Amino acid sequence: MHTHGILRGKSHISSSEDDAGTYFPSVKRDPGRYLQPCSDSVKAWLRSMKNAGKVLLLITSSHSDYCRLVCEHILGKDFEELFDVIITNALKPGFFSLVPQQRPFRTLVNDVEESEGLPSLDKPGWYSQGNWPHLHELLRSMTGKTEPKVVYFGDSMRSDMFPASSYGKWETVMIVEELEGEGVQGSEAAKSRDTRAEPLEKKGKFEDQGMKTPSAASEQWGSYFMDVQKSGEGGGDPKTHLVQSQHPHLQHHGHPQRGEHCRSPSGL
């Protein structure tokens, strides 16, 4: 999902205090200026997993009203039908590391959290805050598996990858949009699918407007991943230093068994 940098952090847009600012009123007034809708192929992928009996989760640290605004624009008005469990204001990474007494789940009424925390989760739905142990118990109940396997997609090493893998023991897939700016190309199969599903490619949309793609390398800062420095006082050959090394949790290992996985399409 192309919500990179949008559906992230603590974001709340319904109060008059936030409406007095600049950014959130602008997003509410013209979402299309800031948000890129997901392709039909992504929506079809989510529906196919749901129809196959997978449990789909959406976990974001954004508040419910902002989550709804973004998801309605990028996934459609019926986005809630795609997910079994939606968790907003999750306050990651604490969602994974804190015990239930420190961060209980709460229900929502008109986007306002109930003051009383829930002792446990007993059914799917839309919740606020929460913790991994109670979610784990719900997934065990929903899947009938003692140790349900989860594949979790996120875009933050601190809030998504590390805590989900270390505390939740989930398999993780990191979304690094900046790789496109480094010239990394997708597989031929992916290109073929994109061509059929989206005749007008993402890159082309920006080129038509005379704009760079959001993932283009910065002319001022250079590569997102490497720092090139001159060695020695008199100049000399440049040396390349890798500033963001590959992390084992960025790789997906093994092949899931059918019927044993819960999937979280976003650590939004």
pLDDT value for 165 = 96
pLDDT value for 76 = 96
Structure tokens at 189: 């199969």
Q: Model confidence over 41-55: pLDDT tens digits?
A: 999 999 999 999 999
pLDDT value for 21 = 80
Domains of the chain are 16-145 (3.40.50.1000)
Alpha helices (H) along the chain? 16-19, 23-29, 40-51, 64-74, 94-97, 132-143, 162-166, 188-197, 202-208
Q: How many CB atoms lie within 10 A of CB 56?
A: 19
pLDDT value for 181 = 72
Give the residue among 8, 10, 159 at the shortest CA–CA distance from 96: 159
Distance in angstroms (rounded) separating the CA atoms of residues 215 and 74? 19
Q: What average pLDDT values come out for the chain (268 residues) when binned by 10 residues? A: 37 52 87 92 96 97 94 96 97 96 96 95 97 97 96 95 96 87 60 48 46 65 70 56 43 38 50
DSSP letter for each residue of 58-82: EE-SS-HHHHHHHHHHHT-TTGGGG
Q: Model confidence over 164-193: pLDDT tens digits?
A: 999 999 999 999 877 777 776 654 544 554
pLDDT value for 228 = 66
CA 93 to chain centre: 13
The model's pTM is: 0.71
pLDDT value for 265 = 54
